[in-house]
Structure formats: structure tokens, C-alpha cells
Structure 1
Amino acid sequence: MTQPQTRTLLHHLLEAPEVNGASWPRFRVLWRHMAGDAAKELLEPKLANVRASESTYRRWLAGTHLARGDTATILEWYFGKSAEALAQPVPVREIVRPRPLDRRTRTAARALDYTWPTSRHVPGEPDVGVHGTWELAGGRHFDGTTIGVQLYEAQPRGDMVEVSETDLPHLRSFVRSSRRGVMLASLGAAGGKGLYVMDAALARQSLVAGQDPRVPLAYQLDDLTYAIVWAMHVLDDGLLADDHPLSDRADELRHYVKISNSAPPRTDMPDLSPVGAAWLGSSLCAQYIVRHLDDLSDVPAFWTREATGEECAPWLFFRHKHDYLQSVASRFAGPASPLGRAFCVPEAAVRSTEPYERVLLFLTVAMMEMHGIKVWISSAPEYTQTEGFVLAQDRAILANWVREESVWRVATTSARRDVAPYQEAIEHARAHSLVDGQTPADRLQALAAYLGLDWRWLVSRCRTLGEEGLSSMLRPRSRLLTLQALDQTLRFLGAVGRQNSGR
């Protein structure tokens, strides 16, 4: 086995970017400053006149000669290490440096800082092999996260962008890390615009298979792809942080599903992050509702408390959410079924959120429509605090975890006085829905207009992104997340957009 290369600590310290004095011409200049400064600081004027020859300097670097006397004093003062330590060998870490980025690519990278308020790009230090980071700030409810990021120049190849072969050594080095990261490819040097995103783990799979990583044009960063990237990473890292506590609570969760009502305070579970608490509350509510569905003789109406894209993000990625929607649809959905779900999204909630976050809300509603659940949108502020519930005739099943002081609150009631407010809320949403169209396409187009989203652009982007599939762009790490239902929703929107444009 080959031994790792070594060099002296002095050589290593002189190569640091802030010193940059490993070559003899640079060291000779540096030494004059070192000697002069040491003379002033140590109050020993004679040190300013101490000289070092090139041959002596090279022996110091090689560790074959130990600095003595005044030269040792200067070296030890400047580096804060003993002459003996400076002569000792240290391991050499091989650094694979990326190519310098084109000016247009650097400009595109700066867009990460001002296009989305929850995005901040911190460039790396190429000379010392440190990759950049992409800070994804949290919103009103969930914590943010930070992932590794590296930018590369790319060339267009049909409907793909391809990283240059000269960047592959550095890309291999970047994707070897087990930390979460993404590769951003730029067409700046080729005269193109924008950044194209791919998970580092997926880039590594291509390299292992002997293929050069190619990023589909559909993966260009915009409000749609950023919304998905942001939401998935925030949820994924939050769940991974709580993996053990969530696993430990599996039996506890099964117990709570079986009892008639419960509302454990958030203080009972201080070890959970906001995302972990959201998953636990959402999972309990879904199981509680499904357990009571067989008791319903009529098609129920649902009320959802989520009013922003951040609150809706769990619908798009939590695996149990999709199982729950499929369970509801298999029981009640049909061409003539009155099955529906109401949202309360006041104008203030729309105005206070960024377009990318409104995209998440739009995708959530589209997912409901895809499952045959007609959506009603109320803008009445007085219903903002109405908790999530299921209504069937004179019975209400309460199940809410959104904006709750408790981790969740579930209960059932048939008392007329208790059920009346929920009946009123559903009747109001049905009668005054802002998206009361005849078809899913009509309702979704009306929703896009209400949210200030470009309908044609949105369904076109959803179509191209759905055709490529998210699993070639992102890779969740938590087993509690899935991209499958969101992929289906993107394709559904693409098909709905075609139908609507043809009318």
C-alpha cells in the first residue's frame, strides 16, 4: 500500500492562501516582513537584520535542517510553533480544484441570493478544496437547512446540459462526500442562462455507471423547481434529525389512534423539531380519520386548515398523506360523487407569501383534484382559524395539527351545537368558492389566477418536469418521504393544461 505524501509543517503553513510564501522569491519578501515585525514586537532590533539563504530555506522546508538562534526566534514568533514542530512532517491532503467560473456563471449564482428570500449561496474556497453551501432558510413554521453545492460550467446537448469533461475529476471529488449536496450546472460560458440542478447522489450514480452526468433542461431552477427543492430538503432534514424519537413513538401513536379524543401539548414532546412534530401530528390525524371512515354512511366533506405553501408542503412529500388520499378516494371518489375538500386562503395569506410558496399551495390543490376530490377555496378571513375536520351528515370528525398548541387534536362529536359551525363552514365554502368551475382544469386555472401565478407557464413547466420525473433530480433520504405522488401530480397538471388549452 502506498504511503501518503508528507511535507513539513512549515511547508504546509507557507502554502496557506493568506501566506502564499512557499516559493523562494515570495519567501524572501515575506522573510523581510517577518524579521522586521518580530524585531518590533519582541523589542529586539537586531532581528530586523537577520537573513536566510535560499539553501537554508530549502533545508527548512525539507526538514533536514532545524532553525536555530535568531532565525528560530523569528519563525516561532510568526507561526506560533516551535522550530522543532515546524520541522516535523504532516500529511498532505490532495486538493482537486475546480475550474474558475465564467463571469456569467458567477452572476447566475448571485441570483440565488436575491431571487428567493429563503435562499442564500455561500461560495466555497476552491484553493483549499472547500465546497460552497446553499442555505435554505425556514419559513413561519419549519426550520431551515444547509446543503453543499458546487457550480460547474456546462454545454447544451439537445434537451440536456452536460458538465465539461475537464470538470469530472472535481465532480468525482465533490460527490464522494456522504453529506447532502447538489450540483448546479450553468450555461453561462456557453451563452445560455439559468442554473440546472441535480442531487449530488444522482450525479455520483451516473459516474459510477461510467456515464457523464447530464441534467435535463426541465431541471432549470425557477419558482417551480426551487419550491420543490426547498420544501423537500427542509422536510427531509427535519425528519432525519428526528428519526430516532419518531421511531420510538410508533407504539404511542398506535395507542392514540384507538382512543376517542386526544390533544397532547407540544411541551410533552420537546425533543421533536417542528418538522418531526408536523409529521407525527399529520400521521395521527390521517390514521384517526381513516379509522372512522367505515362508520360514515354518506360521502363526507373535508376541511383543511392549511393556507400557505409551507403548511401545504407535507401533503406533497409525506408518504402517509398519499396513502390517506388514496384511501379516501377509493371509498368515495367517482364521476358523480360530491366528495370535496375546502381550504380557507384569505387574500392576506396570498399577498404575504412569495410566488414559489404559492406554487406549493397550487400543487397541493392539484393533488386533491387528481384524486377526484373537488376543491373549494374560501377567502373569508373569519374561517382562517377553523380546524381541520371531516363532516358527514350530523357528525364531525375533528383532526388538526396545523397551527395547534398541541401536537395534534382529534375528537368526534355528534352534538348538534358542536357540529353546526362545521356545517356552516362547509356550506359557505361550497356557496362562495373562488374556484367554482365545472372541471378540475377550470378550478385550477381559477386558482392560479387568484394566486397570481401564470397558468400557461405553470402547466407547461409541470408537464416537462413530470415527463422527466423528479427522481432524476432529487433523492429524499428519509423513508417517510416520497416523490411519486408529486410526479403524478405534475403529469396530471400537464394533461389538464392540454385539455384546457384545447377548449
Structure 2
Amino acid sequence: METLTRPTLLYAVLEKRQWLRFEVFQRQLEDAGARAAEHYRNSRLATVNVTKLTFKRWLAGEQEPRGDAATVLEFWLGHSVKELLGPAPKRKVVLARVPHDASLAAVHSFDVRFDSSHLAVNGLLPGAGGVWHLDGLRNFDGTSVAVQMYEAEPRGDTVVIGPEDREHLRYFIKARRRALLIAALGARGADDLYVLDVAHARRQLLMPVDSLPIPTAYKLDELVYGLLWAALNVDDSLLADDQALHVEQQQSEAHLAQPRSAAARAAYPELTDVGAVWLGSHVCASYLRRHLNSADTAPVLWSRVQYGGQAAGWLLFTERHQVLQLMQERAAGAEGAACCVCCIPEAAVKNSERYERLLLLLTMALMESYGLTVYICTEQAYSHTAEFVLAPQRLAVVADWLSPDAVWHVDNTSSKNEINSLAHALDHARAHSITSASTSHERLRQAANYLECEWDWLVKRSREISAYGIGGLLQLRSHLIQPSGVERALSFLSESASAG
């Protein structure tokens, strides 16, 4: 192996951590071997040792560790043997502390729990962070975000990243990129993980402080993961489509001028899946504003939302909030109350993860917060019904933005036969709804039971997150979405439960 003209990365890492003395390295290697043996369930790894001569050759990049020794080194230091024996970067390297084994085990357990998560907290480059891949499942395109994990200690209602990580922390957050910090308590004997957006951390560290607190409310559980999974996927896809959506938005006026319009998904191959859904939502919301006038009877919305990815549109798209506001306005002074019927068959519940179903519950809470009574129909036969709004006996407006084949489908009719047919479907769905209580609190509780989500836990977590706000979790960058829907839903869940 060719002798390097500058130190190896292995040399730089050990020098940074003051492990260059052979006796110190030998002790650290023995400890790492014991941990690796337990992690990989391979007792041979606990007996790995090295001579002083071999150690010097490793440091110089003249001899490559092999077999069990290579396995222990890679497990211990977080870099491949090839990287460790390669040259250290010429630039200044700011190294993070090696995560505690229990913290790495907590990360592994987390990935096992969440099918769409692939969290690697050790970066391939020295001084850089890791990466968190988030699969898109049914409705999203998938995305990734830079992450860095630090050991923390509990302090009151926060966990604190201490001054020993200050240098690397400031180094990591300097770049104006999307990134997340993960605080782990493995060294403290706990397997909980906590998350904070780098933009929020950057603002905190503008002050002369040595430590960075993260609220325990930001614990990385099903609710927080669901919010991050949805927000990061939606935000990144919309940013990727920003210019294309601007052009299409300008051209949508021609479609809105027609009495009815539809656009196939194949007509917009350049858009991400999220971008196509946003465009459909925009066209449908604009169409509703033009055609849904005041009526004597409060309007009724039929929504085809069934999965968490679809619920994310209701929670984050600005246009969806405008639709709910429109429903609320049209119901003011009218007979009856505005309501929404969602068809969520049992198959959709069984085929989705709990964090997806929590997003559905938040969407229902958002709708209820605008005065809409939410009903849940479970019959599979209604699951493909296009989204529409009915002002009984007056007008029906189809505004479907969640079709798997079309970006949008808009139409309106005053035909008595068609209106009677839609009204019959609505009446049947409401009569057989699994939510039948007279208060929002009880209806949401019934929905939680159906969606197999723990109600008391959800209320507790909603209250905790609402107390801090979600600004530390969700730093949205696209101007097409807003976090206020999530905040409103969380707050409404907390308040309605208290009132109930």
C-alpha cells in the first residue's frame, strides 16, 4: 500500500480524541470489541487485539485491517476501513463525538418501527452529518434530509446537548440547508430520541450559550414522526416543482373559465406526485370559490381522503384551509351545520401505519375546528366517490383533486336527479357513520377508536407540542404550504378534549 504524504483519517480521528498512544488505543479497541460482539452476537469480536507495530502501520496507511479487526474498527469509528486508511481532508475537520452504542441501537430500533424511515446518523465524510431517507409510500415521492445525532442529558422538560459538542454543532448548522438535529439519551440509559430543526437551533445559538436545549415535547414518536414525514416530503417536492407550478398556476385560468374541466396525470409528467396533487388542489379550490354560493342550507363536503399522505394536503396546503373557511362562511346563517363525510374503509385502516392514521385524525380535528361535523363512512363501495360539495336542493360542485389518475376533475350541476343521487349517498353515509356523537370531542374519540389510535395519548401529546409550537420541528420553506393547519388541529384536539 502506498505511503501517504499526509496523515490518514484514522490518525486524524484518533488524534482528535486523544487516543494516539498505543496503550490508550488498545484499551479503547478492547472496549469497542466487547460492544461489537454484543451488537453482532459474535463472540470473536471481543478478542480482537493488535500489536504496536501493526497499529503504527494502520496509522500510516501501510497495512489494511482485515476480518474481525476491520469489523470492530468500522463499528467503533463509523467509517469504512478504506476511508480510515485514506488521507485526512486538507481542510479543518471538526469531528463529532462517537455516538454511544445504546444510542445507535435506539436508531436501529426506530427504523424497525417505521417502515418509511432509513436513518443513518454517521456520515460518510468526516465532519459531515448523516442522512435520513424518508420513503414516500403511496402518495409522496420520497425525500432525504441531513441529520446529526448528539448525546444529550435530561434537564427538566428539555434534553440538553452540552458544551462538549458545541464546536461540531456550530460547524454542522452553519450551512443554510435543510437539516435536523437528533438528541439521544443512550449514554444516560434511555432509548428515546428527540428532534430539532437546524434553523431553530441556529437562532438559539446566536446567543452566547454553551448548550442547546430541545423540548421533550419533540420526542420522536409516532406523532412527531408522522408530522416530519409529511412536511419534509411535501415541502421538498413543492420546492422541486416551484417554477413549473408557477407556470401551471398562471395557465389554470383557462381551465377555470370552463363550466367543467379535467386533466389527466399523464399530461403533467414533469411534476412530482406532490406537485400534481397541489396543482389539482389549487384548481379545485379556485373552482369552488367561483361556484359555491350561499344557500339556505349549510353545504356538505364529501372527501375521499383515506391515507396519511392525502391528509397531509388538508393539513399543509394553503388552498385546503381556504376551502374549509369557505364552507364555514357558506354555513353562516344557513339552516343546519356544515359537515364533511370521509369514506375510510377498514382495508385502508389495516393497510396504513399508525403515524398515517394520526395524520387523518389531525385532519378531522382541523375540519371540526372550522365548524364542520365529521362523519366517517366505512363502506368500500363508496371509497372511489369523487370529492364534491353539495348545497342541498340547489347545487352540486365536483372538485376532485385526489384521484389516482387525474390531477383534477371539476364540474357543477343543478340537475335535481343528480343532486338527489348525491344527497342519498350523503344521507346513507351519515346514517351509518362510526362517528355519531353530538360533540367534536366525542366524534374525534370515536374516530380514534376506529383508526386504532390511543386517544388519551394523542390528546396528551397534542397538548405538549402545542405548548411549544411546531416551529422547532417544521421549518417549511415553500410558500405554497403553511404550518398553521397542523398547529390549529393540535390545539383543537387539546381544547376539545379539555372541554369534553
TM-score range, shorter chain: 0.7 to 0.9
Q: Which amino acid aligns with 2:430?
A: R
Q: What secondary structure sits across from 2:205 in the alignment?
A: helix
Which residue number in structure 1 is paired with residue 412 of structure 2? 412
In structure 2, relative to structure 1, the CA distance for the partners of 1:31 and 1:273 (3 Å cut) is closer
Residue 179 of structure 1: CA displacement?
Answer: 2.5
2 CA distance for matches of 1:381 and 1:290?
A: 30
Structure 1 length-normalised TM: 0.82
Residue 256 of structure 1: CA displacement?
Answer: 2.1
Residue 243 of structure 1: CA displacement?
Answer: 0.4
Which residue number in structure 2 is paired with residue 15 of structure 1? 8
More divergent stretch after superposition (91-100 vs 476-485): 91-100
Residue 431 of structure 1: CA displacement?
Answer: 0.9
Q: Which amino acid aligns with 1:491?
A: S
2 CA distance for matches of 1:122 and 1:334?
A: 55
2 CA distance for matches of 1:10 and 1:323?
A: 63
Which residue number in structure 2 is paired with residue 241 of structure 1? 240
1 CA distance for matches of 2:294 and 2:333?
A: 19
In structure 2, relative to structure 1, the CA distance for the partners of 1:32 and 1:236 (3 Å cut) is closer
RMSD: 2.9
2 CA distance for matches of 1:109 and 1:175?
A: 21
In structure 2, relative to structure 1, the CA distance for the partners of 1:128 and 1:373 (3 Å cut) is same
| 1:143 lines up with 2:137 in the alignment | no
2 CA distance for matches of 1:146 and 1:11?
A: 36
| 1:202 lines up with 2:197 in the alignment | no
Which residue number in structure 1 is paired with residue 90 of structure 2? 92
Residue 484 of structure 1: CA displacement?
Answer: 1.5
Q: What secondary structure sits across from 1:124 in the alignment?
A: coil
- Residues 362-409 of structure 1, C-alpha deviation per residue, up to 9 Å, x if partnerless? 100010001100011100110001000011224210010112422100
Contact persistence 1:161–1:216 (CA under 8 A): yes
Unpaired runs of at least 5, structure 1: 1-8, 36-88
- Residues 145-184 of structure 1, C-alpha deviation per residue, up to 9 Å, x if partnerless? 0101111111222111110111011111111123311001
Q: What secondary structure sits across from 1:209 in the alignment?
A: coil
Q: What secondary structure sits across from 1:202 in the alignment?
A: helix
Which residue number in structure 2 is paired with residue 294 of structure 1? 293
| 1:349 lines up with 2:348 in the alignment | yes
Residue 263 of structure 1: CA displacement?
Answer: 0.5
Residue 255 of structure 1: CA displacement?
Answer: 2.8
Structure 2 length-normalised TM: 0.82
Residue 125 of structure 1: CA displacement?
Answer: 3.8
Which residue number in structure 1 is paired with residue 37 of structure 2? none
2 CA distance for matches of 1:366 and 1:91?
A: 52
Residue 272 of structure 1: CA displacement?
Answer: 0.6
Number of residue pairs aligned between Structure 1 and Structure 2 = 441
Contact persistence 1:260–1:412 (CA under 8 A): yes
| 1:223 lines up with 2:217 in the alignment | no
Q: What secondary structure sits across from 1:184 in the alignment?
A: strand
Contact persistence 2:13–2:95 (CA under 8 A): no
More divergent stretch after superposition (366-375 vs 483-492): 483-492
Q: What secondary structure sits across from 2:5 in the alignment?
A: helix
- Residues 406-443 of structure 1, C-alpha deviation per residue, up to 9 Å, x if partnerless? 21000011223433431221111121111010100110
- Residues 219-247 of structure 1, C-alpha deviation per residue, up to 9 Å, x if partnerless? 00111111101000000001001000011
- 1:374-413 matches, cutoff 5 A: 374-394=373-393, 395-413=395-413
1 CA distance for matches of 2:413 and 2:334?
A: 30
2 CA distance for matches of 1:413 and 1:289?
A: 13
Contact persistence 2:196–2:473 (CA under 8 A): yes
| Larger CA Rg, structure 1 vs 2 | 1
Which residue number in structure 2 is paired with residue 80 of structure 1? none
In structure 2, relative to structure 1, the CA distance for the partners of 1:19 and 1:194 (3 Å cut) is closer
Which residue number in structure 2 is paired with residue 77 of structure 1? none
In structure 2, relative to structure 1, the CA distance for the partners of 1:295 and 1:257 (3 Å cut) is farther
Which residue number in structure 2 is paired with residue 62 of structure 1? none
More divergent stretch after superposition (487-496 vs 17-26): 17-26
Residue 21 of structure 1: CA displacement?
Answer: 12
- 1:316-395 matches, cutoff 5 A: 316-333=315-332, 337-394=336-393, 395=395
Contact persistence 2:121–2:149 (CA under 8 A): no
In structure 2, relative to structure 1, the CA distance for the partners of 1:298 and 1:183 (3 Å cut) is same
| 1:191 lines up with 2:185 in the alignment | no
2 CA distance for matches of 1:30 and 1:335?
A: 80
Percent identity over the alignment is: 37
Contact persistence 1:131–1:148 (CA under 8 A): yes
Q: Which amino acid aligns with 1:438?
A: S
| 1:130 lines up with 2:123 in the alignment | no
Residue 354 of structure 1: CA displacement?
Answer: 0.8
Residue 269 of structure 1: CA displacement?
Answer: 1.4
Q: Which amino acid aligns with 1:476?
A: L
In structure 2, relative to structure 1, the CA distance for the partners of 1:11 and 1:378 (3 Å cut) is same
Contact persistence 1:460–1:497 (CA under 8 A): no
In structure 2, relative to structure 1, the CA distance for the partners of 1:31 and 1:341 (3 Å cut) is closer
In structure 2, relative to structure 1, the CA distance for the partners of 1:414 and 1:103 (3 Å cut) is same
Residue 25 of structure 1: CA displacement?
Answer: 5.9
| 1:438 lines up with 2:432 in the alignment | no
Contact persistence 1:218–1:465 (CA under 8 A): yes
1 CA distance for matches of 2:141 and 2:451?
A: 25
In structure 2, relative to structure 1, the CA distance for the partners of 1:449 and 1:476 (3 Å cut) is same
Unpaired runs of at least 5, structure 2: 21-51, 64-86
2 CA distance for matches of 1:195 and 1:444?
A: 28
Which residue number in structure 1 is paired with residue 36 of structure 2? none
